[in-house]
Amino acid sequence: MEKKFISIWFFIGALLAIYGALILASGIYGLYAPPATAVAMPQLHIAIWWGVGMLLFGLVYAIRFWPNRNRPR
């Protein structure tokens, strides 16, 4: 049974990259326009760090398992 479906790791990478970019953008925006409701430990700017981490992790996976590369699932 020969299957050519796109690797699940690609979808995961793409989704995490998109989410990472959104969360990073939201974190950066929050530096200039803090949200109306505060969170604990705001000095950590966790959204920025989390967003960067997700973006990098997602990009690595998305590129590593890009559909045309015939990677294993």
Partner 1 sequence: MPAMLLLQAANGRLALGSIDLVIIVVYFMLVIALGLYLKKFTNTGEEFFMAGREMTAWVAGLSFISANLGSLEMMGYAAATYQYGILIAHAYWIGAIPAILFLSLVMMPFYYICKTHSVPGYLKLRYGEGARSLSAISFAVMTILMSGINMYSMAIIMKVILGWDIHFSIWVSSLTVAVYVMAGGLLSAIFNEVLQFFLIWIGCLVIPVVGLYETGGWAGMVHRIQTNFPGQDFIHLWRTTGSFTANPMGVHWTGLVFGWGLAISFGYWTTDFLVVQRVMAAKDLRSAQMGTIIGAFFKMMVPLIVILPGLLALAVLPFHLVPESQAGVAGAHTYNEALPLMLARYCGPGLLGLGITALVAGFMSGMAGNVTAFTTVWTYDIYKPLFRKDAPDSHYVSMGRWCSLLGVFVSIGTAYLVMNFSSIIVYAQAVFVFFIVPMFGTVILGMLWKRTTPAAGFWGLLAGILTSFALWLWVKFDPSALRLIAFSPHAKDMAENIYRAMWSLIVNVLVTVAVSLVTKPKPDRELVNLVYGLTDLAPAGHFSFFKRPITWAAAVAVGFIALNVWFW
**Residues at the site binding partner 1, with contacts judged by CB under 8 A:** 1, 3, 5-6, 8, 11-12, 15-16, 18-19, 22-23, 25-27, 30, 35, 37-42, 44, 46-47, 50-51, 54, 72-73
The CA–CA distances, whole Å, from 3 to 8, 52, 55 equal 13, 34, 29
CB nearer to partner 1: pick between 39 and 60: 39
How many residues make up the chain in this entry?
73
CB nearer to partner 1: pick between 44 and 63: 44
Of 1, 4, 19, which is closest to residue 62 (Cα–Cα)?
19
